[in-house]
Amino acid sequence: MAAEADCAHVIIIIAMKEEAAPLVEFYRLEPLGSSPFIEPSPMVAWRGTLRNGLLLHVVWCGHDERFGVNNVATTAAAVSTYAAVAAFGKPALLLSAGTAGGFGQRGARVGDVYLSTKCVFHSRRIPVSDGTLEEYGFGHFRSPPLAGLAAAAGLKQGVVSTSDSLDCTPTDMDLMMAEGAVVKEMECAAVAWVCQNLHVPFVAVKSITDIVDGQKATRAEFESNLHAASSALQHRLAAVLDLVAGRPLSVW
């Protein structure tokens, strides 16, 4: 088997402009002059070569043309991921980065940043005869073993669960509890599915804005913590990028 290549190129997929901005600013990333995507795709890309030599592409899923809001959730995340790999080539590592809800009963606190051990869908419910389609629905996308990286970068680790909804029905909650989820968000299993199909190593990095099983209303808690959580995300992502640059992922 060929030796695993050193990590020289990372792509980060981000749903919200507010989540991408601190990273773009911190690294002074350059917007790509002419869009690498089919016009008039909404995605926006930045590029930079970091001081450690790592080539970084950050792709924001863009604004919706009709509603003017961030293109959150799974459809835009999957399309953006495929388009990014088509435009920039296969990276050594692709990240889904952003903000998320966390489960207090499993130790999540606002401001924590998590590295995924696994990503699942909790709203692709397909309970038919032999159970294979049901398991396909959940997805069960295992992340590479990166416990050493998480410890070195100050990240917690856990299962991240994805749906297209900010809210949480009783069925969603039962399934997330059964799957061992610590983090709830709206993109990463879709990004993981694309990466699985393209054989690109994938992991999610998610910063907690709200406690799903806490006392506060999700939207209000999310909105009041978005800025601080995006800043925490940028700090932890910078630590991750510093640590992975120039080494094979298998050292972690």
Which residues here bind ligand ADE, judged by CB under 6 A? 99-101, 166, 184-186, 209-210, 212, 218, 222
Active site residue 4: no
When the beta carbons of 123 and 143 are compared against ligand ADE, the nearer one is 123
When the beta carbons of 7 and 113 are compared against ligand ADE, the nearer one is 113
Q: One of 112, 185, 210, 221 is an active-site residue; which one?
A: 210
* Shortest distance (Å) from residue 24 CB to ligand ADE: 20
- Report how far apart, in Å, the C-alpha atoms of 152 and of each of 83, 115, 143, 146 are: 31, 12, 17, 10
* Shortest distance (Å) from residue 13 CB to ligand ADE: 15
Q: What is the dihedral of CA 172, 175, 178, 183, to 10 degrees?
A: -50
When the beta carbons of 80 and 88 are compared against ligand ADE, the nearer one is 80
Q: Which residues pair with 106 in a beta bridge?
A: none
Active site residue 210: yes
Q: One of 19, 112, 187, 221 is an active-site residue; which one?
A: 19
- In the bound complex, which residue of the shown chain has the CB atom lying closest to ligand ADE? 101
* Shortest distance (Å) from residue 222 CB to ligand ADE: 5
* E runs forming strands in the chain: 9-14, 30-31, 44-49, 55-60, 93-102, 113-121, 141-142, 156-162, 181-185, 202-211
When the beta carbons of 80 and 200 are compared against ligand ADE, the nearer one is 80
* Shortest distance (Å) from residue 219 CB to ligand ADE: 9
C-alpha closest to that of 223 among 241, 233, 210, 214: 210
Residue keyed to tokens 């924001």: 60
- Known catalytic residues are 19, 210
